């Protein structure tokens, strides 16, 4: 139950980052440090500060996926000892 909740929260966080990035893409496409330095810097700082949480959540999802895959493989093999009690 904890793994599912953790995976859901991490997935939601990644989704929110992607929505945020999509909303920022017009601003990122029109960055102009020469004419509007303040707005351009703000957009870049916003992207840089939200990036590390994306990487952390991707790492969490990968770890959870690996743990689930290993659990399924052990269950299909009959446990750690291969079902030989």
Q: For the chain, give every domain's residue range.
A: 1-27
Residue 67 near residue 10, CB atoms below 8 Å:
no
According to the model, what pLDDT value does residue 79 have? 55
Say how many Å lie between the first and final Cα of the chain, rounded.
Answer: 28
Residue 23 in this model has a pLDDT that exceeds 70 = yes
pLDDT for residue 24: 73
Q: Name the residue among 13, 25, 22 with its Cα closest to residue 56.
A: 13
Contact 64, 11 (CB under 8 A): no
| Per-residue pLDDT tens over the stretch 30-81 | 778 888 888 888 888 877 777 667 677 777 777 777 777 777 777 777 655 5
Whole-angstrom distance, CA of residue 65 vs CA of residue 13: 16
pLDDT at 85 over 70: no
pTM across the whole model: 0.48
Tokens in use for 12? 């939601």
């Amino acid at each position: 139950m904890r793994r599912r909740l953790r995976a859901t929260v991490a997935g939601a966080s990644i989704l929110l980052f992607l929505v945020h990035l999509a909303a920022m893409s017009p601003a990122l496409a029109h960055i102009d440090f020469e004419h509007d330095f303040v707005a351009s810097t703000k957009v870049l700082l916003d992207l840089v500060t939200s990036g590390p949480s994306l990487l952390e959540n991707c790492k969490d999802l990968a770890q959870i996926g690996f743990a689930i895959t290993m659990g399924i493989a052990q269950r299909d093999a009959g446990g750690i000892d291969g079902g030989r009690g």
